[in-house]
Amino acid sequence: MKQKLLSTFLFIFLITITTYSQVANQPSPLEVCDNFGANDGIAMFDLTFVEQEVFGAQNPSDFTITYHISQTNAEANVNAISNPNSYMNVSNPQIIYIRLTENSSGNYDTTTLSLRVLPLPNINQPSLFVVCDENNDGTEIVDFTQMIPELLNGQNPDDFLVQFFLNGIIISDPSNFLITPNTTTFDVAVTALSGCGTVQTSFDLIFEPLPAATQPTPLVACDVNGDGFAEFNLFDKDSEILGGLDPVTFMVVYHETQMDAETGTNALATPYINVTNPQTVYARVENVQTGCYTIVELVLQAIDCSDFGQIVVDAYYDENENSDFDTDEINFTNGYFTYEINNDGLVYTVASSSGHLVLFSENETDSYDITFNLYGDEQNCYSLPVTSFENITVSAGNSVAVEFPAVAVENCEDLAVFLLNPSALPRLGFNFENRIVLKNLGNTTIAAGTVEFTLDAALVFNSIVEINSNYVVNTTTNGFTVDFNDLEPGDVETIRVSLNCPNTVSLGTLVTNTATYTTTQNDNVASNNTSTLSQTVIGSYDPNDINESHGPEIVYDDFVASDGYLYYTIRFQNIGTAEAINVRIEDALDTQLDESTFKMLQSSHDYVVTRTNHQLVWQFDDINLPSESMDAEGSNGFVYFKIKPQSGYAVGDIIPNFADIYFDFNPPITTNTFTTEFVETLSVDEQLLSSFSIYPNPANDIVNIKLNNATNGNFKVEVFDVQGKRILSQTTTDAVQMNLNVSEFESGLYFIKIANQSRESVHKLIIN
């Protein structure tokens, strides 16, 4: 028997268990106040402040702690933050990744730290607070909390405590505070609930009575169809409603309902067709400076047309000088009408593109004094045998003809040249248009003549878009000439010129073109033979605007030596969705303009313009202006006129002008305000001017301006937007450094110009 050998093998496994002792505890969020003062969400953090929380009960000497901007970097232990005790965040809030590494083993753990920058309190200087005395009793309850959104300017109101004070005493209920005329200056404090401080400012309050409007008499209009409906010119009642109120400070807007008048919505256009007969509409009389308003009722009544008398007024060219308006004679348009009713002292001045005017007399006892007047230039070539008719009355259902003959002065030649821009301003990279208008104001045919167009060197001449086919164009090194012929008395010829503004031109550049009648040996009036048009290069534009041909600054000495007129163009465009049946333009002339010198020169459509004191109103009835989508070119219109400043104007005077444009029943579109300033002669030499620097740029609130060399004398600093509109101006003496507050500017591109009496320089400024 064989014996088996059994062997036993013993396997022993050694298992080693290692315990990781490092644990990175998550710290509390780290919050600091915005310590750079710009409220941009960027601040300085000491990340090491949280290390004790991260270590917990562990011995800090056993570990290495590093800080990273991503989890990947923390895991790989790369790109550690080199300055953790003075770290500037890159976003708000921001997550920081912390790596805790055990020195003996190299083992690690990670956690996160949340950073948050708390905003500083920042007050946006509030607008003037206007309180309208609704009952005219000398007291009013106001709600100051309405100001909080404007004060905080986008900041979260939940982060701040806003308190109002009067004479240092807190107002316990600012939403229900009794105001009297003697309490005018208040303080407001904004405290950050985070503990990041308090800021305080003051604001003024105006306690304004409501406008003292006059209840008007009913407005009647002729019901020509006998159906109870008529067209009402609501604005005929403006003067009566305003009474003695200044039409520049107070405006009248008409509404169909009391609610619309209260809210200032759905304004009525004129002419207005009534919906019931009689009908009550509501006139809102508003102080344009304070917004305080009064509402009065106006009754409209359509009556039988036979209840009216008509005064038909015509000016005509009396070619055969027989003092009769013969059927082969034409209306004379180179003048204007005035009329006064019952010698009440209110004189209406009317210019009509047709030389024709109809006045409706509501009462046969009303007496009209009517005149026709030649414009100054036309007095050289025409005379008026009859200049006025007095005490004209007409009974209901009848009409009276009032006719003014104009007689030619022998062999009088007068060609007027106008250069205007009826469409867009020069816009970077785009084409735009100038128009040369030739008008024979004389009484003889101009057999031949030449007009020279001189182009600004910064612009490019494209082509002549429209011209009389009999005229000859010759290009020159800086523009072109036009040889014209056979321009009859009263004829108007328009030459449309296409130009381009290259992208290389700087925004804000003033470009100047000129048109000159060069054949003047027989011309009786030399002052209207040259027309200059200066315009500011823009980046975008509103198609409804007003501009003056000299540009925003006029050299005083040059202006005194000229004809002394300012030349305004008001442009309008229908950018709606349907054609505009009627268009009206209102221009409340500044008191620095001499309203008696107003003269219409050109318009895109037939018009009637009425001047009452300083108020100009153009009426384009049945214009049927197409919308831009229907006919882009045909949707535009313009008026072009001239007017002189009041005598006594001087260097430093600034004359503003703006207009309101009404399309049918829509609320008015208010144009830009164009400002004209009379200045000393400038010799623009940027090389001689000590250049200046501006910082910060881009800016948020304060811009520092520093002259690189100390310069004595008075310096004017002005800020313009891309439309060329001046929005800030101030003067400094012995300028080395100064500050501008731009906190209320909208974001975008601006231009800062600094100039003394002989030199100027311009820099671009960006507002965040």
Instruction: Specify whether 723 is located in the same domain as 746.
Output: yes
User: E-assigned strands of 288-332?
Assistant: 293-304, 309-317
Q: Calculate the CA 390 to chain-centre distance.
A: 44
Instruction: Specify whether 526 is located in the same domain as 420.
Output: yes
Q: Which of 290, 306, 322 is the last residue of a domain?
A: 306
Beta bridge partners of 514: 454, 532
Instruction: Specify whether 463 is located in the same domain as 442.
Output: yes
The CATH number of residue 470's host domain is: 2.60.40.1510
Element (DSSP H or E) covering residue 281: strand 279-287
Closest CA to 351 of 141, 599, 524: 599
Q: What was the pLDDT predicted at 255?
A: 93
- Strands 185-192, 198-209: pairing kind: antiparallel
Instruction: Specify whether 196 is located in the same domain as 322.
Output: no
Distance CA(165)–CA(594), nearest Å, equals 47
Q: Does a structural domain hold residue 4?
A: no
Radius of gyration, alpha carbons of the chain: 37
Instruction: Specify whether 233 is located in the same domain as 326.
Output: no
Q: Does a structural domain hold residue 25?
A: no
Query: How many domains in the chain?
Result: 7
Does residue 120 sit in helix, strand or coil? coil
Q: Which of 541, 565, 598 is the last residue of a domain?
A: 541
Q: Are 417 and 519 in contact (CB under 8 A)?
A: no
Q: What was the pLDDT predicted at 392?
A: 93
Instruction: Specify whether 400 is located in the same domain as 421.
Output: no
Instruction: Specify whether 676 is located in the same domain as 548.
Output: yes
Q: Does a structural domain hold residue 9?
A: no
The CATH number of residue 154's host domain is: 2.60.40
Instruction: Specify whether 758 is located in the same domain as 706.
Output: yes
Q: What was the pLDDT predicted at 17?
A: 42
Does the reported pTM lie above 0.75? no
Q: Does a structural domain hold residue 556?
A: yes
Instruction: Specify whether 530 is located in the same domain as 426.
Output: yes
Q: Does a structural domain hold residue 562?
A: yes
Tokens 């015509």 correspond to: 314
Q: What was the pLDDT predicted at 305?
A: 67
Per-block average pLDDT, block size 10, for the chain (768 residues)?
Answer: 41 44 85 75 90 91 94 94 90 94 92 90 73 72 82 81 84 82 73 82 75 85 80 84 79 91 87 90 86 90 78 91 90 89 89 84 89 78 91 88 90 87 76 89 88 91 89 91 89 90 77 83 81 79 81 86 88 83 90 91 88 89 84 87 92 90 83 87 41 68 66 68 67 66 77 65 70
Instruction: Specify whether 576 is located in the same domain as 642.
Output: yes
DSSP state letters, 480-541: EEEEEEEE-TT-EEEEEEEEE--TTSPTT-EEEEEEEE---TT-S-GGGSEEEEEEE-BSS-
Q: Which of 118, 150, 179 is the last residue of a domain?
A: 118
CA atoms within 13 A on the CB side of 534: 14
Q: Are 113 and 98 in contact (CB under 8 A)?
A: yes
Burial class (CB in 10 A: 0-12, 13-18, 19+), 762: middle
Q: What was the pLDDT predicted at 10?
A: 43
Q: Does a structural domain hold residue 16?
A: no
Q: Does a structural domain hold residue 258?
A: yes
Query: Which domain does 548 fall in, by range?
Result: 544-680
Cβ-Cβ contacts under 8 Å for 709 (sequence gap 6 or more): 690
Instruction: Specify whether 178 is located in the same domain as 227.
Output: no
The CATH number of residue 357's host domain is: 2.60.40.10
The CATH number of residue 670's host domain is: 2.60.40.740
Instruction: Specify whether 591 is located in the same domain as 655.
Output: yes
Q: Does a structural domain hold residue 113?
A: yes
Q: Calculate the CA 228 to chain-centre distance.
A: 41
